[in-house]
Structure 1
Amino acid sequence: MYKEVLRSMENVEIFPIISLIIFVLFFIGIAIWAMRVPKDYIEHMSSLPMDDDNEITDYQP
C-alpha cells in the first residue's frame, strides 16, 4: 500500500537526500561545537552530577 503511494508521488527521491544532508550538517555542527567548547565548561558540566544540591557554584564563561 505505501509503496504504491510513494511510487505515485513525483520527485519522491529528493526526500532521502534532503534528510541525509540535514543529518550530516547537524553532525558536523555538533562536532565543531564539541571541538570549540572551552575545557572549563566541560569540566564544570561533568562535575554537576557529583555536586551537592546545597553547594552553589557559578560558571563564568
Structure 2
Amino acid sequence: MQIPAYARFLFTNTIASKQFYQQQAKTPQENSEICSSLHHHFHHYQIEHQKYEKVNLGNS
C-alpha cells in the first residue's frame, strides 16, 4: 500500500508529539493519558483517511 505523504507527515508528527508530551508528563498516570489520547486521535485520523480513499479512489 502506498502511504500518502501527508499521512507519513502526520505519523512522524504524532511520534514527535508523543515524545514531546511524554517529556512534559510528571507522573506515569499522565504519561499513560497522553499516550492513549494520541493513539485515539491517530486512530480517528486513520478511519477518516480510509473513508476518503473509498470515496475518492473507489469512483475512479
Structure 1 or 2: larger helix share? Answer: 2
Larger radius of gyration: 1
TM-score by length of 1: 0.46
